[in-house]
Each structure stands twice: as C-alpha cells, then as structure tokens.
Structure 1
Amino acid sequence: MLLPMRRLFMPCALLFLANGLLLAGCSSPNSTAPSAADAVKTATAPPPAFPFGGKVDSLNGIAGHTFGEPLSAFTDLRLLPPTPGVPVGPTRTYTYEGTNGWFGKHRAQVPSQLYTFLDGKFYAFVALGDPTVLRPEATFLLGPGQAQGANQFFWDGAQARAVYAENTMGLGREGRLDVLSKSMEAALAAKQQAQLKADNAQ
C-alpha cells in the first residue's frame, strides 16, 4: 500500500523541490522562504501511518455510539439466540430494532444492523442492506477508503478498522459494512487463546 502512495507523491515532491530551489535563488538573504534542504525534508516526509484511518479513528464506533460503551447505553436491541452447535463465547450480538439515527431511519433499506459486545462493552458493528444506500453512507462516515477492486474498501486506523464489501445475492447485490475496535479485537483474541490453552490442558 505504501508503494502506490509514494508514486503518487513523487510529482508533488519534485514540484516542491523545484519551487524551493527557485525561491532560494530569487529571494534575499533575509527572506523567510524555506531553504532547499527544508524543501527536500518536506518532499521526502513519509506518508502517515494510517492514511485511510483518520475518520474511522475519529468516529471510533458508529454514529451515536463509541466502542467500549456499556450495553446499558443502548436502546432497542434484541439479543440474538446462540447458533446451535456453536459454543457460546465471550461476545454477545444484538440486532437493532429502533428507528433513531441514520441506520434506524433506513431500516427498510438496511434491515440487518448488528451490535456485538465483549464483556458487556460495545465491540463491533455490522450493517447489511441495499448497497446504493449503504455504500454512500459508509463513504460519508469514513471517507473514501482504500479500494480493493470495484466493490470493496478498507479503513484501517490505530484504534479502529472497517471494511465495506458487496456481494451478489439472488438477482441483486448486498452491501456489508463492518466496523470494529482493534484493542477489543486483541482482547478477544487473548481470551480465546487462554480458553484454548485451558481446554487443551484438560
């Protein structure tokens, strides 16, 4: 991912370098114009560590709720029953049945809205529905994202991660938006690893 970003920055880098040299040659000794060395430093600055993660980190959840909030801060959630034959883990997933906020007002177009909690704290969100409605909202909330193909986008920040993808469903298409907390993802992985060790020790 970094290599295309560097290629994108190369013309700008050359432009900045040329401008710096021209300004240095035409300015007086007392001018505050950046020196050629400063221009080179600016031009060769590395890209940000999370170029597509700013908005997903700023939101750190979904509109109206941030990751880590307790279950008591949410309304209109209904607990989904466990999947038969699948062991119950440390997470619980609820479906949203309310009408508040963008997702509530668009339940007809985005009927599946799932909130997952780890130890009673908001951990992840999934929305599935009409891509012509869900995709623009995902872009509005999180920015343009890193494209992978025509119908898949990633947002990877320091605190949170998100992905939007579309799949063929019957005669149409379905959009899916996943947003999760990276720190809670790590906590869940640690819990699962500890459980696996405990099971193997028996």
Structure 2
Amino acid sequence: MRLPLYAYFPTLAVLAGSLFSSCSSADSNSTPETQAVPPKTAAVQFPFGAKVDSLNGIAGHTFGQPVSAFPKMRLLPVSPGELTRTYSDEGVAGAKATGWFGKHRPQVPTQLYWFLDNKFSQFRAVGDAATLRAEAIYLLGPGQAQGQYQLFWEGTRARAVFSEQARGFGREGTLDVLSKPLEAELAAKKQALLKAENAQ
C-alpha cells in the first residue's frame, strides 16, 4: 500500500516558507506610506489552496463526517497500533452510480477513505492518470506543479497532491486529499502514544 499523503510533504512547508519570506521583504527605498500593506489573506499565504479549502474533502463529502454518512464501505485489515481506519468504497450493488467518482469507477477503480475516531480524514483515488488529473484540476484548480508529474494544493484546512507514473502500457494517477486539522490530531495522538511507551 502507498504511503499516506503527509509522507509526500517533508520539504513542502520549508520551501513554501522560504518562498513567501523572500517575496515579502520590504523594499529599503520605500517610504512608510508604501510599506503599509493590508494583512495577508489566506489566498496570499496559500495561493494554490482556495479551492481545496472550499471543498474541504471531496465532492459530496466533507472532512469530519462519520462512516455512516457514506453509502457502502468495506473496512480494510487494520495493522497493530494503527490509529486510523481505512475503508474501500465498494459502491452499492445494483444502484445507479452517483457523483464523479461513482460514475468513473471503471477509470478510477481504487477509492480509499481514512477515518480518525470515526471522522473522515483522508481520501485517495488511483486510476487512469489523464482522467484523474483532469478531474483534480476541475475540482481544485491548476495547482502548483512540482516536476512534470506532480501537482500540489496547499490550503489552511486541507491539502492535496496528484502524482502519476508509468504503469504497464499506460500511466497511473494518484490523487490524495487530506484534512490538515485531523492530520495534526493524528500526529498528536502518535506523539502521546510514543511518549507513553517511552515512559514505561
């Protein structure tokens, strides 16, 4: 199984911080009047994150919803010590497919949902790269390119990444979308567990 979404971002925050700090330094020749600027907005701080924040999940489901809000999910095996629960969206047998992901299941067959304390915290879709990339851009905007085969969206409440790679005779795409508050909550829980284990 692929790594969780946060594993893709070890240096993104550092790079973004240095980029923004270098762009925000005041001109030494400017007057006090020209230095007075309005406070930064979320759109300035996260130029590729407005849509991922607005969506705050995936079309039809927002982060924080319980498993019961999803039509038919299958719990995948849980590893010892795992704090989240991963579900596969099986769809509803015989029912008409709804939503983009339901209607495009043949092109995007893998659709996984993570829950932390029964709260929807992360989504992953894996399938045809061209189909998935087009939908990611439609939902989230153009994104920040990192190389030819990766796009990032960084908001205040949510984060997403699309990546693709050669697979067989075609290209496979992966779209991950996660809740930043629930990511922080998960990290805090892991830290508390580690501290408790070290204290024993």
TM-score norm. by structure 2 comes to 0.77
Letter of the 2:147 counterpart: G
Q: Tell me which moved more, 46-55 or 132-141.
A: 46-55
Per-residue CA deviation, residues 57-97 of structure 1 (Å, 9 max, x unaligned), is: 00000000000011111111111112xxx424221010111
Letter of the 2:71 counterpart: T
- Looking at structure 1, the residues matched to 56 and 198 of structure 2 have their Cα atoms a distance apart, in angstroms, of 36
| 1:183 matches 2:176 | no
Distance 1:76 1:201, change over 3 A: same
- Looking at structure 2, the residues matched to 150 and 137 of structure 1 have their Cα atoms a distance apart, in angstroms, of 17
Matches within 5 A, 1:116-135: 116-135=114-133
SS in 1 for 2:147: coil
Q: Structure 2, unaligned stretches of length 5 or more?
A: 1-15, 24-31, 92-96
SS in 2 for 1:48: helix
SS in 2 for 1:153: strand
Per-residue CA deviation, residues 24-80 of structure 1 (Å, 9 max, x unaligned), is: xxxxxxxxxxxxx98x57999968001000000000000000000111111111111
Q: Percent identity?
A: 62
Q: CA deviation at 1:102?
A: 0.6
Could you tell me which residue of structure 2 aligns to residue 192 of structure 1? 190
- Looking at structure 2, the residues matched to 117 and 142 of structure 1 have their Cα atoms a distance apart, in angstroms, of 22
Distance 1:102 1:44, change over 3 A: same
Could you tell me which residue of structure 2 aligns to residue 97 of structure 1? 90
Q: CA deviation at 1:197?
A: 1.2
What CA RMSD, in Å, does the superposition of the two structures yield over aligned residues? 2.4
Could you tell me which residue of structure 2 aligns to residue 58 of structure 1? 54
Q: Structure 1, unaligned stretches of length 5 or more?
A: 7-36
Distance 1:44 1:149, change over 3 A: farther
- Looking at structure 2, the residues matched to 125 and 161 of structure 1 have their Cα atoms a distance apart, in angstroms, of 11
| Higher RCO, 1 vs 2 (CA within 8 Å, ≥6 residues apart) | 2
Task: Flag the structure with higher helix content.
Answer: 1
Query: Which structure 1 residue ranges, 4+ long, deviate > 6 Å from structure 2?
Result: 41-47
Choose which of 67, 72, 75 in structure 1 pairs with 2:68: 72
- Looking at structure 2, the residues matched to 45 and 159 of structure 1 have their Cα atoms a distance apart, in angstroms, of 19
How many equivalent pairs are there? Answer: 168
TM-score norm. by structure 1 comes to 0.76
Instruction: Give 1 or 2 for the bigger CA radius of gyration.
Output: 1
